[in-house]
């Protein structure tokens, strides 16, 4: 249950209210294989979230094409799940109903009711079924968000810095959970992050993006065997390599503003 | 002294401390019993005052024949007043007993004890000043027994008027809520409707509903429908305004999340926008409710064949201020009750907010 995604020559420009155009993405090409774990990494403003939103169908490119399994992406579809950075749970629904949302919205709740409990256990939230989002921690909320996206059995899961707002212990915990789910469901994973360690720890390939205009500067294969060790020699070497790439990219810094 | 004895001493100290704490508060049965007695004592004092305080002022004490279940009972105003006081005392004692085993209600009850005692004393003082000695200007400030007399003299009539008011309120307010929420959702959801309707709502919304009375009375077939119409528009604008605001303030991310999970457009309205707007809708309903009471009483005073407002007006003509007060007491009780019911519904609907919003 996974999809390949093809992105060819995609361009996205945002028009500022002041008339200044922001080139969020310029001639982006990327092939994502089915069942692959891909990370998009780069400094803020490099268009990684824009790219993810284009894949989700939340946004449309000015030119270029995105396709999934050969079909053009024209809008949102439950086959591409999405996990927001934070605060996307519905505060008026308890955990159980948040997770069941997709099934209910698609009219499958009656047939697949047992699945709700299954997914609650899968993300380790047994006993919290009747809690409301504000009553649980940030890490738990993100696990709910992931379960909510996965219950629709998407072929690709798009993750927009899902661990960005979490402390490092919770983050490491959730990363392991994510790998576990990936192995179990074999879903294509596309993760936006600004954490180099996270990208190396999780992905098959890391896509490095640079800003102004947002584009892909390099794609790195992570061939380290799994499970990976965050302190391993190869891990640290790769980390150094990526850091150097960013320094290169920022060799000629452009001022963000002038006085 | 070694550590073990130190620990023991500390434990003992803590123990005696917690014991001392437990001795005299609402958790203690004797203390709670005294609180219950204190609560009832005020009303009992008021009863004693009514019975034993000499009637100095010249107040005519009429006897009314009231038939209850085919029994004719003769009652004076003092009997009715004593009956009401006794009823209050009994109600509070029963509520004390029913909260006997629940810690939270015990605490709440104990907290209210002093106020309820003072309430009984206030009754006693009012009785002395208003009826027994008539220290206050008459007939504007009758005593509590005289107010109770209104229920004896006009019992059935007061009940009829109360029901009339209730019927008017129920018809007007429920229509107002439905229309208000309905239009609010339309305005909040469809930008075109917002563009054309919202300015109209904004301008007409500030006009007090009773200002439309001349039109309502001439254009609508009955005075009842006219009053319903006024209550409807006073509730309508307020609720529509806040509902629209609530719908519009729904975060974009909630819609995006719902769409990706498979929500269609109607689903977005009913499962994202409306739940999100619920707190605002209830703010609208509560504030509209207060205005609906005002509109209700005013329209009854100005052009209704019945209702508590009408009863007040009619009593005023005869300078029967004790009847005016009697109607005001009913309004206070009735409107508080309605507020309480709405509050309960609100609390249940917005239970997901508990702990988020400080109330």
Give pLDDT tens digits for B243-301.
999 999 999 999 999 999 999 999 999 999 999 999 999 999 999 999 999 999 999 99
Size of interface A-B (CB pairs under 8 A): 64
Q: Give the model's pLDDT for residue B296.
A: 93
In a domain, B20, yes or no: no
Task: Clarify whether residues B129 and B161 are in a common domain.
Answer: no
Strand partners, B325: none
Helix (H) or strand (E) holding A205: strand A205-210
ipTM summary value: 0.88
Range of the domain at B250: 154-353
The pLDDT tens digits for A148-179 are: 999 998 999 999 998 888 888 888 888 998 89
Q: In this complex, do A90 and B254 lie within 8 Å of one another by their Cβ atoms? A: yes
Highest mean pLDDT among A27-36, A80-89, B165-174: B165-174
pLDDT category at B1 given cuts 50, 70, 90 is very low
Q: Do A92 and B275 touch (CB under 8 A)?
A: yes
**pLDDT score at B14:** 53
User: Residue A85 gets which letter from DSSP?
Assistant: S
Q: Percentage of chain B with pLDDT > 90?
A: 60
B127 and B158 both lie in a single domain: no
Task: Tell me which chain A residues have a C-beta less than 8 angstroms from the C-beta of B276.
Answer: 92
Q: What is the CATH number for B197?
A: 1.10.3720.10
Could you read off the pLDDT of B52-110 as tens digits, one per residue? 998 888 878 888 887 777 777 888 888 899 999 999 999 999 999 998 888 888 888 99
Contacts of B257 in chain A (CB under 8 A): 82, 84, 88, 90
Task: Return the residue in A85, A87, A90 with the most chain B beta carbons within 10 A, the one to mutate for interface testing.
Answer: A90
Per-residue pLDDT tens over the stretch A27-76? 888 999 999 999 999 888 888 888 999 999 998 888 888 999 988 898 89
The residue from B83, B103, B136 where one domain ends is: B136
Residues B130 and B165 in one domain: no
| B259 vs A contacts (CB less than 8 Å) | 58, 76
Cα(B85)–Cα(B183) distance, integer angstroms:
47
pLDDT per residue as tens digits for the range A172-231: 888 998 898 899 888 999 999 988 899 999 999 999 988 888 888 889 898 888 888 888
Instruction: Say yes or no to pLDDT of A241 above 70.
Output: yes
Q: Note whether B231 and B278 are same-domain residues.
A: yes
- Tally of structural domains, chain B: 2
d(CA B23, CA B16): 10
Q: Measured between beta carbons, which residues in chain B are less than 8 angstroms from residue A56?
A: 260
Whether B249 and B304 map to the same domain: the answer is yes
Q: Do B257 and A106 touch (CB under 8 A)?
A: no
Cβ atoms A52, A95 nearer than 8 A:
no
Domain A1-44+62-79+190-220: top CATH class? alpha beta
Angle (nearest 5°) at CA B88 between B83 and B90 = 90
Does B158 lie in the same domain as B129?
no
Q: At residue B336, does pLDDT exceed 90?
A: yes
pLDDT band at B358 (very low <50, low <70, confident <90, very high): very low
Q: What are phi and psi of A15, to 5 degrees?
A: -95, 120
Which residues in chain B touch residue A135, judged by CB atoms under 8 angstroms apart?
A: 355
Q: Give the pLDDT confidence score for residue B61 in this predicted structure.
A: 82
Q: Are residues B173 and B260 in the same domain?
A: yes
**Looking at per-residue confidence, does B175 or B57 come out higher?**
B175
Structure tokens at A66: 């995105």
Please tell me which residue of chain B has the smallest CA distance to A77: B260
Partner-chain residue, chosen from A91, A106, A134, that has the shortest CB–CB distance to B262? A106
- Cβ-defined contact of A105 to B276 (cutoff 8 Å): no
Interface of A with B (CB under 8 A): 56, 58, 76-78, 80-82, 84, 87-88, 90-94, 101-102, 104-106, 132, 134-135, 148-149, 152
Contact: B253, A87; criterion CB under 8 Å: yes
Residues B148-169: tens digit of each pLDDT: 988 888 888 999 999 999 999 9
Per residue in B310-330, pLDDT (tens digit) is 999 999 888 889 999 999 999
Tell whether B149 is covered by a domain. no
State residue A170's pLDDT score.
84
Interface of B with A (CB under 8 A): 251, 253-254, 256-264, 267, 271-272, 275-276, 278, 352-353, 355-356
pTM of the model: 0.83
**End-to-end alpha-carbon separation of chain A, Å?**
53
Domain ranges of chain A: 1-44+62-79+190-220
Residue B21 included in any domain: no
B205 in the same domain as B131: no
Helix axes A138-150, B252-261, angle to 10 degrees: 40
**Distance (Å) from the alpha carbon of A58 to chain B's nearest alpha carbon:** 7
The per-residue pLDDT for B5 is 54
């Amino acid at each position: 249950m996974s999809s390949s995604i093809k992105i060819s020559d995609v361009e996205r420009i945002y028009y500022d209210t002041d008339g200044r155009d922001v080139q969020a993405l310029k001639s982006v090409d990327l092939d994502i294989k089915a069942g692959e774990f891909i990370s998009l990494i780069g400094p803020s403003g490099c268009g990684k979230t824009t790219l993810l939103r284009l894949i989700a169908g939340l946004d449309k490119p000015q030119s270029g094409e995105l396709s999934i399994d050969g079909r053009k992406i024209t809008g949102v579809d439950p086959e591409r799940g999405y996990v927001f950075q934070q605060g996307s749970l519905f505060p008026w629904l308890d955990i159980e109903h948040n997770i069941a949302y997709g099934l209910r919205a698609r009219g499958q709740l009656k047939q697949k009711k047992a699945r709700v409990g299954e997914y609650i256990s899968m993300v380790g939230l047994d006993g919290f079924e009747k809690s409301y989002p504000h009553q649980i921690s940030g890490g738990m909320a993100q696990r709910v968000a992931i379960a909510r996206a996965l219950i629709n059995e998407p072929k690709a899961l798009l993750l927009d810095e899902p661990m960005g707002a979490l402390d490092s212990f919770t983050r490491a915990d959730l990363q392991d959970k994510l790998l576990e789910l990936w192995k179990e469901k074999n879903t294509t994973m596309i993760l936006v992050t600004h954490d180099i360690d996270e990208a190396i720890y999780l992905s098959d390939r890391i896509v490095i993006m640079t800003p102004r205009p947002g584009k892909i500067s390099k794609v790195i294969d992570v061939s380290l065997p799994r499970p990976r060790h965050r302190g391993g020699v190869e891990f640290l070497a790769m980390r150094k390599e990526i850091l150097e790439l960013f320094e290169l990219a920022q060799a000629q810094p452009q001022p963000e503003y002038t006085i | 002294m070694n550590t073990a004895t130190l620990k023991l001493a500390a434990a003992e100290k803590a123990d005696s401390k917690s014991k001392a704490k437990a001795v005299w508060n609402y958790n203690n049965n004797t203390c709670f019993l005294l609180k219950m007695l204190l609560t009832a004592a005020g009303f009992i004092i008021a009863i004693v005052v009514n019975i034993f305080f000499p009637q100095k002022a010249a107040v005519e004490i009429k006897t009314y024949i009231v038939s209850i279940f085919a029994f004719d009972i003769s009652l004076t105003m003092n009997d009715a007043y004593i009956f009401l006081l006794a009823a209050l005392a009994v109600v509070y004692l029963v509520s004390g007993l029913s909260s006997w085993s629940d810690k939270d209600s015990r605490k709440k009850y104990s907290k209210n004890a002093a106020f309820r005692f003072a309430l009984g004393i206030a009754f006693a003082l009012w009785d002395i000043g208003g009826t027994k000695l008539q220290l206050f200007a008459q007939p504007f400030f009758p005593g509590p027994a005289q107010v109770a007399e209104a229920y004896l003299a006009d019992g059935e009539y007061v009940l009829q008027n109360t029901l009339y008011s209730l019927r008017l309120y129920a018809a007007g307010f429920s229509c107002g809520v439905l229309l208000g929420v309905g239009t609010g959702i339309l305005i909040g959801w469809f930008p075109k409707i917002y563009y054309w309707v919202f300015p109209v709502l904004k301008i007409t919304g500030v006009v007090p509903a009773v200002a439309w009375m001349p039109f309502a009375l001439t254009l609508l077939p009955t005075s009842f429908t006219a009053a319903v119409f006024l209550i409807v528009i006073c509730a309508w604008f307020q609720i529509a305004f806040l509902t629209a605001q609530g719908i519009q303030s729904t975060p974009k991310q909630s819609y995006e999340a719902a769409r990706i999970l498979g929500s269609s457009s109607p689903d977005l309205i009913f499962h994202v926008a409306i739940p999100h707007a619920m707190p605002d809708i209830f703010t609208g309903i509560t504030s509209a409710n207060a205005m609906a009471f005002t509109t209700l009483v005013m329209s009854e005073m100005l052009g209704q064949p019945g209702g508590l407002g009408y009863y007040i007006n009619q009593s005023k003509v005869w300078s029967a201020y004790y009847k005016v007060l009697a109607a005001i007491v009913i309004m206070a009780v009735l409107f508080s009750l309605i507020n309480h019911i709405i509050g309960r519904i609100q609390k249940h609907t917005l239970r997901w907010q508990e702990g988020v919003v400080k109330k």
